[in-house]
Amino acid sequence: MNTKKIKILAAALIMVATYTSCEESLLNENPPNIVTSNSLFVDYEGFVIALNGAYAEARREKETISGSQTIQQMAQNGTDNLVTNHRSSGFATIAAEWRDVNNPTQSFYADVFTWLYSIVNATNLIINEAQNGDNVDWSGGPGSDVENQQLVIAEARALRAWAYRHLTYGWGDVPLNLEPSTGATIRSDWTRTPVGQVREQMIADWRFAEQHISVEPRQSGTLTKGAIQHYLSEMYLVENKADSALYWANKVIDEPAYELNTSRYGVNANKPGIVFMDMFTDGNINRNEGNKEALWVFNYERNTIGGGGNNNSRRDHHSRYVNIKVGDVNPFKVTESRGGRGFGRNSLTKWAIENWTSEDDRGSHFAIRKFFILTEGVDDLPSGLKYGDTIHLDFSEDITPESASRRNWPWCKKVDWTDPMDVGVSESFKDFLYLRLAETYLLRAEAQLKLGQKAEAAESINIIRRRANANEITADDVDIDFILDERSRELVTEEHRRYTLLRTNKWLERTSLYNARGGQFIADKDKLFPIPQVVIDANLNQDMPNNPGY
């Protein structure tokens, strides 16, 4: 399949819908290079192209949305475990300052809000065409004609719910739209739907999708049944329905195809390392590469049609180690083994680094970069040192407004990657392990805690701690703060940390406590982002109030 056309299509799906109503007035021609709903939504293959376009748009979470900014900044930075280090425009600045800087005129918010609704509209179009299209040839998929049709609808509904997950965590009450917006139905009278009602629709979408999406991905990069069940578990925690959350977490955990990786595997299995980090190694990330823990993977490939725009995870997080000065020398050069070049926009908080105990593999030098060894033939040698000497990074003092832009700061090596043929490039094209089973165990522990099953919650946590060689805990250790600490130890740079803290009502408390550059400025209003002013202004025929405090 020509995936360059697929990606272009995702951004153009709204245009396809807009022009559909005008087609009958045009000349009766069918140019082969023009994609319209009439030429695309005629068979299963066409619907797969449209779905792949929607997946490509979802993958932009890790790419750039507004300039060089990404939504992962919004979902991860400005929390208890990630802090703005080197400030730039966009959310890194907001997370360092909050107050009046966090306002509806920030173009970054408008770009993200629009992007998410473009996914909603694209998936609405796919759903509408799949349900109502005439004479569609549904053959060629993995099942019967009816099963193929339901699979297409299921994946589209799951992606729509995924977009609304971002929207509801970010903005609370948002317009709920279940119909494609075309030239004939473009509206300027939207109202904000109560967040509970939006989440009811998300659950309905995921409940439908769970029935039709298989345990294994349809193709690399697509959703699995386990990912859908995982999201259902999380959403039922949000809805304070712990019994349902436990049910869906157990559905994932009890599926034999999904297992924690408990032994070394893959491309570096014979090299020094730890089990925990193998699944973050390029060539080991996908299920078909041996990663039994993966529930959803975002795929990237450099210089490949459809390979994605660039996974910004490393660029956002890695420290600017090439600018470290020892005496009058900048000794350290970018190498493949050092994981590439970073900009340090969000760094680990001092608390996050110290959250691991000494025996915990997840905080070891295999997982967290805490030092460099001067390497002959690579590095410049500072006066008084010799090759083979170790230079430790300094996290003795926290990142603060007065002590930021820290170059010699540790980072999480999960995002390490660079092109061995061009090690200085700022882009990364390593696949991203977007959702994995270990997080489901922690959702289960949270549900068990809510149900008063503290011994069972401790065991759910110990299952992942054993893999990391961390000391086991007892029921007396388990409370919501311990679970949040454990989530940071296991999932830092992966999970949407802001969302986790918001749904547990801990964002304000823990960010104020552990984030020394920004945490001291946050207020209750910052729990929700402002509705972008351009969205309010464009809603000409209906007042749209902003969130409180804006």
Taking only the tens place, the pLDDT of each residue in 209-243 is: 999 999 999 999 999 999 999 999 999 999 999 99
| Cα 357 to Cα 194: distance, rounded to the nearest angstrom | 43
Whole-number CA gyration radius for the chain = 24
pLDDT score, position 5: 36
pLDDT tier, 305 (very low <50, low <70, confident <90, very high otherwise): low
pLDDT score, position 312: 78
pLDDT at 30 > cutoff 80: no
| Cα 485 to Cα 76: distance, rounded to the nearest angstrom | 15
- CA of 294: how far to CAs of 49, 64, 97, 217, 302, in Å? 24, 24, 36, 10, 22
pLDDT at 35 > cutoff 70: no
pLDDT score, position 66: 63
| Cα 244 to Cα 162: distance, rounded to the nearest angstrom | 19
| Percent of the chain residues past pLDDT 90, beyond the cut | 77
Neighbours of 207 (CB within 10 A): 15
pLDDT score, position 12: 37
| Cα 281 to Cα 266: distance, rounded to the nearest angstrom | 8
**CA neighbor of 343 nearest in space, from 334, 353, 352, 330:** 334
Q: What is the mean pLDDT of residues 2-17?
A: 37
- CA of 461: how far to CAs of 149, 274, 276, 295, 467, in Å? 39, 19, 15, 19, 11
pLDDT at 349 > cutoff 90: yes
CB contact at 8 A, 160 and 119: yes
Q: Poorest-confidence range of 23-27, 176-180, 331-335?
A: 23-27
pLDDT tier, 9 (very low <50, low <70, confident <90, very high otherwise): very low
Q: What is the mean pLDDT of the chain?
A: 91
| Cα 17 to Cα 127: distance, rounded to the nearest angstrom | 12
pLDDT at 115 > cutoff 70: yes
Q: How far is CA 497 from the centre of its chain?
A: 10
pLDDT at 92 > cutoff 70: yes
Q: What is the mean pLDDT of residues 20-35?
A: 44
**CA neighbor of 115 nearest in space, from 41, 76, 64:** 64
CB contact at 8 A, 543 and 192: no
Which residues have CB under 8 Å from 454's CB, separation 6+?
A: 448, 475, 476, 478
Q: What is the mean pLDDT of residues 339-353?
A: 90
CB contact at 8 A, 417 and 282: yes
**DSSP-H helix ranges across 451-538:** 454-467, 480-491, 497-503, 507-514, 533-538
CA angle centred on 535, ends 205 and 108, rounded to 5°? 90
pLDDT score, position 304: 65
- 3-state DSSP assignment of residue 373: strand
pLDDT at 4 > cutoff 60: no
Q: What is the mean pLDDT of residues 477-496?
A: 99
Which residues have CB under 8 Å from 238's CB, separation 6+?
A: 199, 503
pLDDT tier, 345 (very low <50, low <70, confident <90, very high otherwise): confident
pLDDT tier, 2 (very low <50, low <70, confident <90, very high otherwise): very low
| Percent of the chain residues past pLDDT 70, beyond the cut | 91
Q: What is the mean pLDDT of residues 184-206?
A: 95
Which residues have CB under 8 Å from 134's CB, separation 6+?
A: none
Structure tokens given for 71: 């939504």
pLDDT at 71 > cutoff 80: no
Judged by phi (left if over 0) then psi (alpha if -120 to 50, else beta), residue 424 lies in alpha
| Cα 181 to Cα 101: distance, rounded to the nearest angstrom | 33
What is the value of pTM for the model shown?
A: 0.92
